[in-house]
Amino acid sequence: MRSQGSVSFNGARIIAQLSRIALIGNSLPRRCGIATFTADLQRAIEASCAGVEASIVAMTDRGRIYEYPPAVHLQIDEGNISEYVRAAEVLNASGIDVVSLQHEFGIFGGDAGGHIVALLSRLTMPVVTTLHTVLAEPTPVQCSVMNRIIDTSAKIVVMAEKGRTLLQSVYRVPAEKIEVIPHGIPDVAFVEPDRVKAERGFAGRTVILTFGLLSPNKGIEIMIDAMPSILESRGDAVYVVLGATHPNLVRDQGETYRESLLARVRALGIEDHVVFLDQFVDQATLLDLISMCDVYVTPYLREAQMTSGTLAYSFGLGKAVVSTPYWHAQELLAGGRGVLVPFGDSVAIGSEIAGLLTDHPRRQAMRERAYASSRSMTWERTAGRYLAVFESARRGHRPEEMPPGKAALSAEYHFTDHRAPPAMRIGYFLSLCDDTGLLQHAVHSVADRSHGYCVDDNARALLLACALNRPGEQRLSETLTGRFAAFIQHAWNPDTRRFRNFMSYGRAWLEDSGSEDSHGRTLWALGECARSDANMSRRGWAARLFAEALPVAESLRSPRAWAFTLLGLNAYCAAVPHDAKAEAIRQVLANRLLTILSAVEAQDWVWFEDGLAYDNARLPEALIATGMSTGTSAQVAAGLRSLRWLTTLQTAPLGCFRPVGTHGFGDVRRRQPPAFDQQPLEAAATISACIAAWRASGDRAWRGEAERAFAWFLGDNDLSSPLADVENGSCRDGLHPDRPNENMGAESVLSYLLALAEIRQIARLSQRRGRFVPHLARGPEPAGPLARPH
């Protein structure tokens, strides 16, 4: 039977139905602010509400062993994703009512801490997440992870109003999902510093204090530089720097930073006025040392700091605080509760501290204002507010909507709404090119010459060159684009009227005719080149070779070859509008796709074939694009219908995009195809098809589907592992059940870059038009005549 506890909150008595709470975060004795906060919150919850058990799931950095207290019931090796999954299973089986996640970048494994999603997505109880940092300008991968955490959380807690503003403006979090709960503080008496000064060996001195783990972003050197000017007014002043060097800094650099600070003190000749206490102290000692200071200073160097436990503690003990204006300090010290000085300004910080140290009445009034204002922040009050949020999350939780191992996630990037997509980086792509063309494969990130070249990839490369001719992109060089075109010209075999596909590294063709699909894909590239190449002469070349290679398309038997050819025809017919032969072949191939769809389609299988293979979304895309170009509503309707079925099938239980795995290619009517190995080619095809569906129907949900598929590249996938490197434009070859494929071949890289070019284009459309709406009737399947979009 569930026990009831009660706690006071804002003068009211809350009867909590909670009995077990699990806090996920770092824990003491690990040395970091999150560990201190998690331990303090755990103790405050248990002290505030009888009958509630609060336990900790501790993140342990790799290679470290800690003597955790009994409150830590479970440890997770931060880099081992299987331990996150196991932890979810343990929590689900333990009768936990609510999970409280303490989130900070850098404490969870995976890219941008993405491993934590593997845990959250499997939980059956509600999650309340406290964000200790909210980034105003996250990278795409950080944005992906943050969106997934937000979506799996019933409530999001931040510690400052700036956090609420950023959650709403950057991450589009609904206001009702956000709670602002200030950082907790110990409830101690307002005391004068003299007694503790005497006990700690600072009798007769004026004490300035900074505490916390030592690292370069804390601005300690700025405060050291300010000391000579302070000593001119208060010759008895001493600056106490309390705190061990940050463990990560010690691991990477040893004590180099601390030694540089000591050298700075010696250079200024103020050794008697700066004291370094290289300690990580317990709470009782910490409170004592704060109590002895006359002025507390946080000279941090960056504005984007949402939370400072050191600031909250000093403020809560009624200290006169001088701080740079980072976000937390701006809010906490407003209204005369402290003093703000510019970042990196040792003159200003020295002047303000000297003024406070020589004006006792002003300093005392500031102390009293801070202490009185902080009474709502005591750990007892903070625990009460957290318990109220936990209880609200528990009451609003409907377990039937979140069965074990599943969670409804939506990590759409909404690039077109409010965020820029990644930059177009082609450095890695260029590394796969030589004076012949584009090499097929790579071993990890090293081009593999042993497999030579293929027309498939060089055709894709020509498509990329055309895509980069759009406004807002940097064109490929004329030399490189010409090289891809030359490869395609050389691949053409006039004797067979087909394109060769595979060429050895020694430039020997390995066949007289390539596959049907490679022929269709090459026609697609030629059609696009005829329409949008930057070079007028090359556009003429592409149109001529397209017309020469097109007739054989009628004899091809592969539905994908038909689809690729149709995509090429749509571009070619726009460039050469009165080619009757091309128009006729276009209708023949489109009708073939309609025919096979009607022959195979059933209520639970809305597809063109009895199985699924590769580049699946190109089939509905070809129908949608052809129907739009020719005004044939039946083709558009069939394309939308089949694409809708495919996107449903390609949605994982976690809500992320899950393309049909290669293990399922050729399987007949597998209702839930195998999840692995997942290929970048499928994501790129789905993005193109969904954008075509959006343009045809005006339904914004299709744009969301395109963005969801693009998010797969950036880590919103079954393993929360990015495939693409947005810094150099590389892309891994696929997603295995347990890891990404570390090879980065041409097909994968081009799939990412082509997909990125499309996502960037719709982002530019939205920025230019405000909200782009195609000139068509809204609805999932247009009925009646279709107009071409402007």
Mean pLDDT on 396-410: 44
- Show Cβ contacts of residue 578 under 8 Å, excluding neighbours closer than 6 positions: none
- How far is 769 from 790, CA to CA, in rounded Å? 12
First-last CA distance in the chain:
65
- DSSP assignment string, 254-282: TTHHHHHHHHHHHHHT-GGGEEEE-----
What tokens does 38 get?
Answer: 């998690």
Bridge partners (DSSP) listed for residue 651: 657
- Compute the average pLDDT of residues 734-753: 94
Structure tokens at 412: 């759409």
Domain ranges of the chain: 5-180, 194-377, 427-449+558-769
Alpha carbons 152 and 402: distance in angstroms, whole number = 10
Q: Is the pLDDT of residue 310 over 70?
A: yes
Sorted by sequence, the CB contacts under 8 Å of residue 243 that are 6+ apart come out as: 210, 211, 212, 213, 214, 277, 278, 279, 280
Cα separation, 713 vs 692, whole angstroms: 20
* 269-273, 581-585, 783-787: least confident range: 783-787
Please give the pLDDT value at position 778. Answer: 27
Q: Report the alpha-carbon distance of residue 702 to residue 687 in Å, rounded.
A: 9
pLDDT of residue 766: 66
Enter the tokens of residue 521: 């894909």
Q: Which of 554, 572, 570 is nearest to 562 (CA)?
A: 554
Q: Is the pLDDT of residue 790 over 90?
A: no
Cβ neighbours of 563 (radius 10 Å): 31
Distance, in Å, from the CA atom of 53 to the CA atom of 286, rounded to the nearest integer, reads: 27
Determine what percent of the chain is predicted with pLDDT higher than 90: 71
Fold of 5-180: Rossmann fold (3.40.50)
Given a cut of 90, whether residue 404 has pLDDT beyond it is no
Look at residue 408 in the predicted model and tell me its pLDDT: 31
According to DSSP, the β-strands at 295-298 and 320-323 are parallel
Q: What does the pLDDT read at residue 765?
A: 73
pLDDT at 419: 57
Instruction: Inform me whether the pLDDT recorded for 363 exceeds 50.
Output: yes
Q: pLDDT tens digits, residue range 640-662?
A: 999 999 999 999 877 889 998 88
* pLDDT band for position 333 (cuts 50, 70, 90): very high
Which residue carries 């022929």 as its tokens?
519
Give, in order, the Cα–Cα distances in Å from 373 to each of 66, 208, 426, 601. 37, 22, 54, 68
Bigger pLDDT: 287 vs 13:
287
**What six digits make up the tokens of 145?**
């992870």
Q: Are 550 and 571 in contact (CB under 8 A)?
A: no
**If you average pLDDT over residues 435-439, what whole number do you get?**
97
State how far the Cα of 166 lies from the Cα of 570, in Å rounded to an integer: 44
393 pLDDT exceeds 90?
yes
Residues in the chain: 790
Mean of the pLDDT values across residues 221-241? 95
pLDDT of residue 491 exceeding 70: yes
Q: Cis link prior to 677 (omega < 30° from 0)?
A: yes
Mean pLDDT score, 362-367: 94
Per-residue confidence (pLDDT) for residue 10, from 0 to 100: 46
What topology does CATH give the domain 427-449+558-769?
Glycosyltransferase (1.50.10)
CATH 3.40.50.2000 fits 194-377, yes or no: yes
Q: Name the pLDDT band for 413 (thresholds 50, 70, 90).
A: very low
Strand-by-strand arrangement of the 446-454 sheet: 439-443, 446-454, 502-503
pLDDT reported for residue 11: 38
Res. 720 pLDDT band, cuts 50 70 90? confident
Provide the pLDDT confidence category of residue 12 given band limits of 50, 70 and 90.
very low
Mean pLDDT (the chain, rounded): 88
Q: DSSP 3-state assignment of 409?
A: coil
Confidence of residue 410 (pLDDT cuts 50, 70, 90): very low
Cβ neighbours around 200 below 10 Å, total: 18
Is residue 566 within 8 A of residue 590, CB to CB? The reply is: yes
φ, ψ of residue 135 to 5 degrees: the values are -80, 130
- Structure tokens of 566? 């149709």
For residues 82 and 600, give the distance between their C-alpha atoms in angstroms, rounded to a whole number.
41
Rg (CA), the chain: 32
- Does residue 13 surpass a pLDDT of 60? no
Q: Which pLDDT value is given to residue 670?
A: 54
Is the pLDDT confidence value at 406 over 70? no
Across residues 477-505, what is the average pLDDT? 97
Residue 216's alpha-carbon distances to 222, 252, 256, 319, 443, in angstroms, are: 11, 13, 11, 24, 39
pLDDT above 80: residue 725: yes
| CA 49 distance to own-chain centroid | 36
The structure tokens listed for 612 are 């699924």
DSSP result, 101-151: EEE-TTSS-SGGGTHHHHHHTT-SS-EEEEES---SS--HHHHHHHHHHHH
Q: What is the mean pLDDT of residues 137-148?
A: 89
- pLDDT tens readout for residues 521-572: 999 999 999 999 999 999 999 999 999 999 999 999 999 999 999 999 999 9
Confidence of residue 144 (pLDDT cuts 50, 70, 90): confident
Q: What pLDDT is stored for residue 737 in this prediction?
A: 86
pLDDT in tens, 183-229: 999 999 998 999 989 998 999 999 999 988 888 888 999 999 999 99
pLDDT at 664: 63
Tell me what the mean pLDDT of segment 56-66 comes to: 90
Task: State the Cα–Cα distance between residues 77 and 205, nearest whole angstrom.
Answer: 46
Q: How far apart are CA 8 and CA 385, in angstroms?
A: 9
pLDDT band at 411 (very low <50, low <70, confident <90, very high): very low
CA atoms of 491 and 121, how far apart (whole Å): 49
Residue 398: pLDDT band with limits 50, 70, 90: low
Distance CA 708, CA 710 (A): 5
Determine the 3-state secondary structure of 371 from DSSP: helix
SS3 label, residue 370: helix
| Residue 725: its H or E element | strand 724-725
Residue 602: DSSP 8-state = B
C-alpha to C-alpha distance for 255 and 277, rounded to whole angstroms? 14
Q: How confident is the model at residue 280 (pLDDT cuts 50, 70, 90)?
A: confident
Intrachain domains 194-377 and 427-449+558-769 with the same fold:
no
Q: Would you state the pLDDT for residue 772?
A: 30
The pLDDT value given to residue 747: 98
By the 10 Å C-beta count (0-12 exposed, 13-18 middle, 19+ buried), 409 is classed as: buried
**pLDDT value at residue 62:** 80
Q: What is the pLDDT of residue 786?
A: 28
Contacts of 618 (CB under 8 A, 6+ apart): 560, 563, 564, 567, 685, 688, 689
Cis before 29 (ω within 30): yes
Q: Which residues contact 559 (CB under 8 A, 6 or more apart)?
A: 592, 593, 596, 608, 609, 619
For residues 774 and 695, the answer to whether their CB atoms sit within 8 Å is yes
Pairing assessment for the beta strands 274-277 and 237-242 based on DSSP bridges: parallel
- CA torsion angle for 372, 376, 382, 387 (degrees, to 10)? 160
Task: List the beta bridge partners of residue 209.
Answer: 240, 296
Q: What is the mean pLDDT of residues 725-729?
A: 95
